[in-house]
Structure 1
Amino acid sequence: MKYISKNIVFSVLVLSFFGISSLNAQNDNSKIEQLIEKKRNYNQTEVKSKGYIIQLYNGNETKAYAVQQKFDEMFPAYTSKMKVDLPDWKVQIINFKTRLAADRALNLFREEFVGANIPKS
């Protein structure tokens, strides 16, 4: 009889442990949803820049013109511009509305232009 009651007590403890664990897992889901909602609200209210740019090159003038010409031939759908902050010449791709769009394009450009990056605005 003692053996059966010990099994019952053990079974009840194990089942209650799993019940509490599943409740915690559901609470974690709601916390994740709250964080996602906070991030969405932040992204809608905080507008720091008009868009994002990708910088392909930063250096001397002759190399900058060569990089820009190569880019324009390889990716005619994108607009490149030359920005001069003497003594540096920068080749930049402009007008990405979101960071996600800029990151996707950056992955495409990095196959040919290894030093490409998204500068902090």
Structure 2
Amino acid sequence: MKNRSKHNLLYFFILSTFFCVKTVAQDSKITTTIDPKIDQLLKEKRKLNTSLFLNEGYKIQIFYGNSEESKKKLQEFKKEFKDLDGTIIFNSPNYKVWIGNFKSRIEVERAMIEIRKKYPSALIIKPSN
């Protein structure tokens, strides 16, 4: 009987040592890969967030008319002024091409100097909801 309890104790000791060594010996190395498209999506989201406020800012309207002409004007504008965003707004019966999202009147006036060279009929607007 004493011999059997010694064997049980020995088995218990061996098993507990095996499990202890196994848990202590674990190393974790985590590697993460980030898709470059995520950065691009974050940049686009930041642009959208900054352009969401309407009542607080100014925009420049460079064109109003039908749908096809407004699309052409917007593409033409984006080729020349790559740093400014533009959008087409429908206000029955015309489509309007709005440029920029300026926080102050001074910013919009500075941009207007350059834009008026190409689009003399451009005007400053303060959109409302």
* Residue 100 in structure 1 maps to residue 106 in structure 2: yes
1:50 aligns with 2:56: yes
Structural mapping, 1:36-75, within 5 Å:
49-75=55-81
Q: Deviations over 1:8-65 (max 9, x none)?
A: xxxxxxxxxxxxxxxxxxxxxxxxxxxxxxxxxxxxxxxxx31111101011111111
Of 64, 78, 84, 1:78 maps to 84
Aligned AA for 2:118?
A: E
Could you say what secondary structure the match of 1:53 adopts? strand
Aligned equivalents of 1:56, 1:106: Cα separation in 2? 10
Secondary structure at 1:100's aligned position in 2?
helix
4+ residue stretches of structure 1 with deviation over 6 A? none
Q: Secondary structure at the match of 2:124?
A: coil
Asked if residue 87 in structure 1 is aligned to residue 99 in structure 2, the reply is no
Unmatched 5+ stretches in structure 2: 1-54
Corresponding residue for residue 112 of structure 1: 118
Distance 1:81 1:120 in 2: 15
2:61–2:98 Cα contact (<8 Å) kept: yes
Which amino acid in the other structure matches residue 73 of structure 2? V
The unaligned stretches of length 5 or more in structure 1 are: 1-48
Q: Report how many aligned residue pairs link the two structures.
A: 74
Supply the RMSD in Å over aligned alpha carbons: 1.6
In the alignment, what sits opposite 1:22?
Answer: none
AA aligned to 1:65 is: K
Say which structure is richer in helix. 1
| C-alpha distance in 1 between matches for 2:119 and 2:72 | 12
- What TM-score results when the alignment is normalised by the length of structure 1? 0.57
Letter in 1 for 2:82: P
- Radius of gyration: which is bigger? 2
